[in-house]
Structure 1
């Protein structure tokens, strides 16, 4: 097992990694910006190194500063968490070239999945279903118009190098496409340094479901069930649950098998997620729509996901420990041939944002009281007295609840949300209280439009 680990991240995920690493007897080094000096993850590490000012480009994305911190502290490995440098193939290569262990997939897999068009083509070749779309970037507006006419409106205009719900627009006709193409291309060039644009069929009614995969040290890829991620605002997730209430045993079998093929196609190692869209099947010749749904590959996240705790509850494993074991060349703690899910888990992302318009609301935390009780877990990045700054993502904590059934998990979620007290920064706890009384959500028959219908 790795003996010393530098966590190249901050807040909630840094604390989460630190907790598991220390349980395993690993010496942990935290890196932090000037803005984060007083946050809990800094105090909880065995050693902490200041790497720069609040600007992420000068701290958490500063590869030279992070590698210097690893060298000065004698770190053996680097865990990137999620966001920042976690899907940066060049950083992964640099870490390994420096003689350090990278806790994540290798750089080639990150590169292969980082470009949406390349990823689509690889998945199609591996027999993973993909939505109708372009196999090459739409080089200009005329090419985009031609492609959209062949695919059929409405279409999604996507930044090929994008991620996290950014760099996307919907066009219902050619006039809208002309506007969205220029907008997405300009955004992609500014944000990602790559203006390549993908045109793909847009499905107005869809569910977002993903499969957790783990590439083991012996070369096998296993699937650890699916997560439902359809409660979203601005294409970004707010709630995740496992198992998905929309997935039948037959569909689950197909989904998990496709996710394993996706991982095998790129020789995947360590934790990753295969994201898919579930859409209603078209009616057959008799005008009857089959009962199950089709799914299409959306993208692969070559890192640990924010929502990994729901999988941990359902499968009874610690995914961070499994990541560290794979990186150390060790076998998993579980039997890959006898995976048995049990119960139901729900995660809610507690953000420092207005609960109605979802606009960021930083500030000093005057009160912070976390809920407790059976089946309740809080992974937080802050505590009372900390300041939520405007420099980083608005995630304050993740509230995870579990139960033997979905109904039991929902009951515990309602009680936990009611008990979560935060005063100071704006927060979206009231939104979850509203969601947990929403008939559509409670039924399980919801899709990605649920938040907009609530507003």
Structure 2
């Protein structure tokens, strides 16, 4: 076993590798950019070396800086984690040439699987089923169009060197092919420097199923079962699970055997993932599952495989890289229970998944499940890297039990003022279709609107009302609700939550978490976070009879246009004004048919989050 290990990565995967290395008595060396100097992985390593400015291309993506740090620290081995340089064959070769152990796939295997067309040809030769399509070298528009016609529409045009959803276009009709091809080529050239494409049959109800494989330098190769990664948004995974729901033992055996064949075909060593696409329109069957690509590294979602097998995949990597045999043979690897991983991102689903950056003034992550996180309360989420805050991993004896644990864990997450997708994750976990495993890669496109909370629950609103109206000095005349001389007690309180004003019942027992963070009081409700306050007098007056027509800015920014004037009649959905923030424009629209009341802003006004900008009053019938 190596004595020292440099981790050429950051965040949660760096912390994950440090944990296993420490258990094995291996000295760890972290590398970090200027933006990451204060993060936990830097503190937790035995040694940490600064490698440059915040942009990844000047630090984590610089082979020269990584190798220089390795020489400086005397590192015996380099673990690339995932992303960054983990699938860079030239870097892997440079590491080995420097006499340093490379904890990753052989450079030849990385190259063999790096181009989609070459990889598929290799898999066909190895007897691994591939998606029907065209992989030829003739890239003429006429030839590609003819092949698409022969495959049958709809088809997918995919960049040969693609990844992450870039350089991919669906084409439903022959008359659209030329335009989509040109668009795909432009994007592929810009993203990968290679505009070559392949054509595949489009799968109408696709499931994304991948198999974890592992091989050593002695010729042994095994699988550790499959994962289902179908829950995606724009080709980016959101929730993964293992095993794949609806996959029977016979079909599992077929795809796992195919995955091992694929790994052997490229003389693979280390951890890898063989990705398959399945046509799930009539269930999962062996003859409707095809090879898609291979990831020649450890995957973000590897914890679900660890959960169901009880194996430490990073430990396996370190043993294999040291020349040791695989810790277990195929018949010694067993599957136990079910596991889910939810990716907690710094983004705002209610605002079109806008990225969110800033200091994590408040961060509460679940204690009841495994959490892999690269940050802690007080750390900064920057715009330089992946916006992941944490991975939430839940394991149970069966799918229902594991999913219930995931739902509870995600509902209890608290993040502020950085926005997160915790509420979305919590809603997915209790969605009837997801719980029944009625899933494919289009699940979020079909269900997205219903999974994003636009306002708190009634119970949460009442909780906010109860807390805000609480009489702290015991003076009954200062109370906002309660005793009346005539009639029943009025327990309603007008409060502002997020962008809107609500009536809440002030006498209900609190059933949601409310935390004061700096000068802001925040209501946490099922993973969602809402700033709450008592409205100022002008807001209350403006909203009287307006049917909650108080329009507040959803973010700090600049008003770049005002499209209405006081007294104008507007219809529901009409644009009232536009706010620009984070280089994106956000249009504020009329919530119902009505009349424009007081305009609080004009073009060029800078506004803060939740600032009242205009009111709309419902027209009298």
TM range (shorter): over 0.9
Aligned to 2:468: none
Matched, 1:302 2:296: yes
Mapped to 2, the partners of 1:280 and 1:347 lie a distance apart of 22
CA contact (8 A) 1:138 1:196 kept: no
Where does structure 1 differ by over 3 angstroms across 4 or more consecutive aligned residues?
A: 289-293
Q: Which has the higher strand share?
A: 2
Superposition deviation, residue 184 in structure 1: 1.6
CA contact (8 A) 1:138 1:199 kept: no
**TM-score w.r.t. structure 1 length?**
0.96
Aligned to 1:260: 260
Superposition deviation, residue 257 in structure 1: 0.4
Mapped to 2, the partners of 1:155 and 1:4 lie a distance apart of 49
Superposition deviation, residue 237 in structure 1: 0.5
Mapped to 2, the partners of 1:453 and 1:158 lie a distance apart of 23
Q: What pairs with 1:235-314 in structure 2 (closer than 5 Å)?
A: 235-280=235-280, 292=285, 294-314=288-308
Structure (1 or 2) with the larger CA radius of gyration: 2
Aligned to 1:397: 390
SS at match of 1:160: strand
Mapped to 2, the partners of 1:271 and 1:90 lie a distance apart of 19
**Relative to structure 2, which stretch is displaced further, 289-298 or 138-147?**
289-298
Q: What is the aligned-residue RMSD (CA, Å)?
A: 1.4
Matched, 1:416 2:409: yes
Aligned to 2:616: none
Mapped to 2, the partners of 1:353 and 1:395 lie a distance apart of 9
Q: Write out per-residue CA displacement over residues 78-131 of structure 1, whole angstroms, 9 at most, x where no aligned residue.
A: 111111111111111111111111101100000000000000000111111111
Q: What pairs with 1:306-325 in structure 2 (closer than 5 Å)?
A: 306-325=300-319
CA contact (8 A) 2:135 2:199 kept: no
Structure 1: 5+ residue stretches without partners? 282-288
Matched, 1:351 2:306: no
Aligned to 1:120: 120
Aligned to 2:497: none
Superposition deviation, residue 219 in structure 1: 1.1
Mapped to 1, the partners of 2:270 and 2:405 lie a distance apart of 32
CA contact (8 A) 2:220 2:325 kept: no
Structure 2: 5+ residue stretches without partners? 449-621
Q: Write out per-residue CA displacement over residues 128-151 of structure 1, whole angstroms, 9 at most, x where no aligned residue.
A: 111111122452322221221111
Aligned to 2:37: 37
Mapped to 2, the partners of 1:7 and 1:183 lie a distance apart of 38
Matched, 1:369 2:347: no
Aligned to 1:334: 328
**TM-score w.r.t. structure 2 length?**
0.70
Superposition deviation, residue 358 in structure 1: 2.4
Superposition deviation, residue 336 in structure 1: 3.2
Aligned to 1:153: 153
Matched, 1:437 2:430: yes
SS at match of 1:161: strand
Mapped to 2, the partners of 1:138 and 1:423 lie a distance apart of 53
CA contact (8 A) 1:117 1:137 kept: no
Mapped to 1, the partners of 2:386 and 2:280 lie a distance apart of 34
SS at match of 1:372: coil
Superposition deviation, residue 290 in structure 1: 8.2
Superposition deviation, residue 166 in structure 1: 2.4
Larger RCO (CA within 8 A; separation ≥ 6): 1
